[in-house]
Amino acid sequence: MTQETSATDIFTTTLPCGMRVVAIPSITNVVYCGIAIKAGTRDELPHESGMAHFCEHLTFKGTHHRSSRQIINYMESVGGDLNAYTGKEETIYYATFLKEHFPKAATILTDIVLGSTYPENEMNKEVEVVIDEIESYNDSPAELIFDEFENIIFQGHPLGRNILGEADKLRQFRSEDVQKFIRRNYRPENMVFFLYGQIPGKKVVDTLNKAIAQVSSSLGPESPLYPYLFQQENQQPVAPTEPMPLPPYQAARITKNKDTHQAHVMMGTRAYSARDPRHIALYLLNNILGGPGMSSRFNIILRENNGLVYTVESNMTSYTDTGIWSVYFGCDPHDVKRCVRLIQKELERWTRAPISDRALAAAKRQIKGQIGVSYDNFENVALASGKTYLHYHIIRDREALYRKIDALTAQELHQVACELFAPDKLSILIFE
């Protein structure tokens, strides 16, 4: 077991099986913890569209020790919660509970992640549940447009795929297909156990090692995780697939007839990875333009000044090697062209000259306040900490983020605007 150094009071280590651990102290008696895995949509092979999300569902459907009903009741019986989500680059299983129930949480999380059996009979039932989820999503154009836009930005790349997958492919999956995906991706060294709460690091490690040993006792050579928890000469772990190179980006303008009462529009471009230092400047610029505040530039221009929309927002997502920036709004079909022109005019203004020092200081003050308030949402802090440690092996540090924001210059924001907001860089997708 290797002990790493990190920020004061934050505990990090690596367990004998290869799973990393990060435990962050908090001020609440509620504990938030989970297992983050580098297994998302972009880790699927071409014939596996939707597999990462499907595996997330199936992981709750039975282990060597517990039935699906027992899994459901395990944390709820003490007032806790057990949940999961799938993203483009990760799947995260997590629990929320009072701190005295940490051994239960560690037991169930390790059991479902390392010891699930993925039975065929449960697959046949769960695939219809996922397909219902897909159809529900298809009925919401305001949500569907985000996925379709991302597919334009990353055309032909797994990052552009819908996380939920496609109904016809899902119905073709068999238990052996799921096992292959699990064997490639659910490797302990591909995982991080994260915790936000009042649990000492030594107790976290002792409890986890005990829980993992309990799961391991039931695994045999047929288990996808067997090669990783038991080093046998005749058991060779399956190597993970190499990530697909990103295709060149080319802006596109697409209109789709969805027969909706309201038009839904997205504009945007490929942007920066989380490792790119420019993503901090885009983070601040995005907040100024279309962040959550009613004072955002797009909200003032489209809603307050002209009454054209109810909702307008801009978003940025930074992946490990790329990113996306976009604007979304819904409006009357007759107002689409006017709204697009107003947004393009505002973006063009940012490419002409840097922001004033006074406006920059106000923008920094606003976003730092928003960050401070967001840290009161302990579950989000825990999930973001697990994700950050999984992909970048770093601890989220609010004060370090503040320092990066404070260091931003007007010229840096201007440079980002010039790089991303040129008309030939912007793709547009319209549902009408």
Q: pLDDT per position in the chain (432 positions), as tens?
A: 443 334 458 999 999 999 999 999 999 999 999 999 999 999 999 999 999 999 999 999 999 999 999 999 999 999 999 999 999 999 999 999 999 999 999 999 999 999 999 988 889 899 999 999 999 988 899 999 999 999 999 998 999 999 999 999 999 999 999 999 999 999 999 999 999 999 999 999 999 999 999 998 877 666 666 666 655 444 555 566 677 889 999 999 999 998 888 999 999 999 999 999 999 999 999 999 999 999 999 999 999 999 999 999 999 999 999 999 999 999 999 999 999 999 999 999 999 999 999 999 999 999 999 999 999 999 999 999 999 999 999 999 999 999 999 999 999 999 999 999 999 999 999 999
Of all residues in the chain, what percent are helix, strand and coil, respectively (each to 5)? 50, 20, 35
Put the strands of the sheet holding 309-318 in their side by side order. 253-256, 427-431, 263-271, 323-331, 309-318
Sign for the pseudo-dihedral over CA of 194, 199, 200, 206: negative
User: Which two three-digit tokens encode residue 46?
Assistant: 């071409």
- Measured CA to CA, the distance from residue 61 to residue 44 in angstroms comes to 21
Rg for the chain, CA atoms, rounded: 23
User: Which two three-digit tokens encode residue 95?
Assistant: 């629990």
- Measured CA to CA, the distance from residue 319 to residue 272 in angstroms comes to 8
- Measured CA to CA, the distance from residue 223 to residue 221 in angstroms comes to 5
In 10 A of CB 172, how many CB atoms? 10
User: Which two three-digit tokens encode residue 85?
Assistant: 């989500």
- Measured CA to CA, the distance from residue 26 to residue 17 in angstroms comes to 27
- Measured CA to CA, the distance from residue 226 to residue 178 in angstroms comes to 15
User: Which residues make Cβ contacts (< 8 Å) with residue 214, sequence separation at least 6?
Assistant: 65, 107, 110, 111
Q: Which residues pair with 37 in a beta bridge?
A: 91, 191
The answer to whether 35 and 110 are in contact (CB under 8 A) is yes
The answer to pTM > 0.95 is no
- Measured CA to CA, the distance from residue 267 to residue 242 in angstroms comes to 31
Give, as one character, the DSSP assignment of residue 305. Answer: T
